[in-house]
Chains A and B, each alone.
Chain A
Amino acid sequence: MTLATLIFVLLGFLLIVIMMIAGRTDDDDAPAIPSEDAPLTPFSREAASTLLTRIFSASDLQYLQRQNNPHILKLFRRERKRVALLFLGELSARTRQIKNLHARVAREAVNTNPSAEVQIALGYFSILFFTGVLSFLIQIFGISAIRFLAAPASALAGRLSRLAQISQSVRDLSGDSVSR
C-alpha cells in the first residue's frame, strides 16, 4: 500500500467520523422519552415538502434581514439550523426504523427477493450517507448552506418515501409466503 493510498483512506475515515459527529442533533431540546419508545408519526412526502419550504425559506431570511436587528437574526439562524438538523435526524430515524422492521420480517421470510434486498440496503445506506453530508454542511456553514439545501433535502425525503414503499411491498410478499 503506497503512502498516497494510506492518506486517502485516512482522509476518508476522518470524513466519515466528522459526518457522524455532525449528524448528531443538539440534545438541548431532546424529548424526555427516548424516540424508540415514542412512535414516529406516519411519513408523508407532501407534509415533508411543506416543512422543507418553510425551514429553507429565503423570504423569511430576507424579512429577518429587513428587521435590522442582529439579536433577532442570530436567533433566527440558530433556530433554523436546529430545526433543519432535527428534520435530517428524523429522516435518519425513520430510515433506521424501516431497516429494523424490514430485517425482522426478512429473517422469518421463506422466500426472499435478493434484488429487492440489495435495493433496500443501497437505499438505506445512501439516505444515511446523504443525511450525514447535509447535516455536516449545515453544522459547518449554518444558514448560508441551508438556502441551497432545500432541493437535496427534498430529494432525500423522496428516497425515503420510495424505500418505505419497496420495503412495504417486500414485507407484504414475505407475509404471504410465511402464511402459506
Chain B
Amino acid sequence: MHASIENDFVESACRNLQGHTLSQIPGLFAQLIYLASTRDYLSGVYHHDGLEYEYGPEVTGAALKRCHTELFSRLLALPLAELVEELDAYLKSSGTDFAHSLLLWDKLQIYRVTPPLDCSRVAAELFLSNVKIALAILYSRARNQRPDQRFALQFR
C-alpha cells in the first residue's frame, strides 16, 4: 500500500516535471542533458529545488530518475538518422559557433555523463557510440558547407 502511494506521488512529480520544466526545453537531447545535470556527480542523487519543495527529496529523486531513464530509452531506440537531427538541433540551439561546439563535444566527450545509472553497460556504450558517430556526421556536413574553412578549437 505504502509503495503504491509513493508510486502515485512519483507519477505526479513526473507529470509536474514534464508540464512545467521539460516541455519548456526544446528537443529530446536538450531534455536529456538537463535531466543528467540534475544528478549529483558524487552521490548520483537527483535534485530539483522546486519539486523538492512540493514532493520532498525522495519522491523528487525517484521522479527525476524515472524521467531520465525513460528519456534515455527513447533516444536509444531512435534510428541514427533521427538522433543526428536531435543532436544537430541541440548544438545549434545555444547560438554558439556550431563547428566550435562540435569540436568541443568531440574533445571533452561531455555526452559521457548522460546515461542513467541503472542502464546496462551495453546500452550506455551503444548510446555513446551513436552520439560519437552523429558528431562525425555533423562535422562532415559542416565541412561540406564551408570547405574552404579550417575548423579549430579557439579558447578566449
Contacts and interface: CB of A to CB of B under 8 A. Distances in A.
B80 A60 contact: yes
Is the interface on chain A under 10, 10 to 19, 20 to 34, or 35 or more residues? Answer: 20 to 34
A86 B122 contact: yes
Nearest to A93: B121
Interface stretch (A6-14, A62-70, A114-122, A131-139): A62-70
Interface string A8-52: 000000000000000000000101000000001100000100110
Interface string B118-147: 111111011001101100110010000000
Q: Is the interface of B mostly helix, strand, loop or mixed?
A: helix
21 contacts: A29-B125, A41-B119, A47-B123, A50-B73, A50-B76, A51-B120, A51-B123, A51-B126, A54-B76, A63-B80, A64-B80, A64-B133, A67-B140, A69-B137, A71-B136, A71-B140, A76-B133, A82-B129, A86-B122, A87-B122, A90-B121
Interface string B54-77: 000000000000000000010011
Top 7 closest A-B pairs, CB basis? A79-B129, A60-B80, A41-B120, A63-B81, A87-B122, A72-B136, A83-B126
Contacts, number: 66
B50 interface: no
Given A72-B137, A82-B125, 6 more contacts: A41-B121, A63-B80, A67-B137, A67-B140, A75-B136, A86-B125
B79 interface: yes
A80 B137 CA distance: 16
A160 interface: no
Nearest to A57: B79
Interface residues of B, number: 21
A2 interface: no
B126 to A, nearest CB: 5
A60 to B, nearest CB: 4
B105 to A, nearest CB: 15
A54 B126 CA distance: 8
A50 B77 contact: yes
